[in-house]
């Protein structure tokens, strides 16, 4: 792994978490836009074959990161959510291209779909029990991120070890991050929510990208 880029990424990530924990908005706004571009640079350097879909996913994530810096503004938040939605679609395409469908789809995958649907139904029924203008966008976004996670799960048919586990764990961290974000957005403010969101979000991106590099 390219050490200078990796070390720089870790330093910026650590700085961003410190600024987030301190609720230092100028520091957060300075460091956050560099996170995904550094991860993208690491991917471009390390990949034997560059997937344009991974590149586009990280570019869309960068745009989403910048827009969500002003998440108090509903328009900016909605645009940021749309950017991440597009990013998940790009990830889905990138992940599906790595799967060997000739081996067939195992029975447990269909059971897993029901588990994802059950979680989505329970979460949205509890968090969005009252009608609101962000309910439908969050449901659509939740569907996209669930499909992305299911795509990583289907990689178990083709990959084993870290090549499978890293993207799958990363997708679950993505779901955790966005679940916390939705709770914090729709209900009373959760203490430390921004720190939990950013930690799980960045680790999700790292695990997915490194897992795809390995696989």
What digits encode the pLDDT tens for the residues 167-210? 999 999 999 998 888 887 766 677 788 899 999 999 999 999 99
Neighbours of 29 (CB within 10 A): 14
For the segment 72-77, the average pLDDT, to the nearest whole number, is 78
Report the share of the chain in percent with pLDDT over 90: 64
The residue behind tokens 């560099």 is: 34
In the three-class reduction of DSSP (H, G, I as helix; E, B as strand; rest coil), residue 204 is classed as helix
Q: What does the CA dihedral 144, 83, 61, 123 come to, rounded to 10 degrees?
A: -40
Report pLDDT digits (tens) over 149-166.
Answer: 999 999 998 888 999 999
**The pTM is what?**
0.92
Q: Looking up tokens 């520091």, which residue turns up?
A: 27
**Rounded CA gap, 195 and 199, in Å?**
6
pLDDT in tens, 112-136: 999 999 998 888 777 766 545 566 7
State the Cα–Cα distance between residues 183 and 198, nearest whole angstrom.
Answer: 14
CB 79 within 8 Å of CB 66: no
């Amino acid at each position: 792994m390219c050490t200078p880029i990796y070390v720089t990424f870790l330093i910026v990530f650590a700085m961003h978490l410190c600024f987030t924990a301190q609720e230092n908005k100028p520091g957060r706004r300075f460091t956050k836009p560099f996170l995904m571009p550094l991860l993208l640079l690491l991917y471009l350097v390390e990949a034997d074959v560059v997937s344009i879909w991974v590149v586009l996913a990280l570019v869309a994530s960068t745009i989403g990161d910048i827009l969500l810096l002003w998440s108090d503004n509903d328009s900016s938040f909605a645009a940021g959510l749309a950017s991440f939605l597009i990013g998940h679609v790009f990830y889905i395409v990138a992940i599906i291209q790595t799967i060997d469908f000739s081996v067939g789809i195992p029975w447990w995958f269909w059971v897993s779909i029901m588990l994802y649907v059950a979680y989505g139904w329970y979460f949205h029924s509890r968090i969005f029990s009252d009608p609101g203008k962000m309910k439908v966008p969050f449901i659509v976004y939740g569907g996209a991120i669930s499909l992305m996670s299911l795509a990583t799960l289907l990689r178990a048919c083709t990959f084993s070890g870290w090549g499978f586990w890293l993207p799958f764990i990363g997708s679950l961290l993505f779901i955790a991050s966005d679940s916390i974000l939705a709770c914090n957005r729709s209900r009373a403010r959760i203490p430390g929510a921004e720190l939990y969101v950013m930690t799980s979000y960045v680790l999700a991106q790292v695990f997915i990208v490194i897992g795809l590099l390995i696989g």
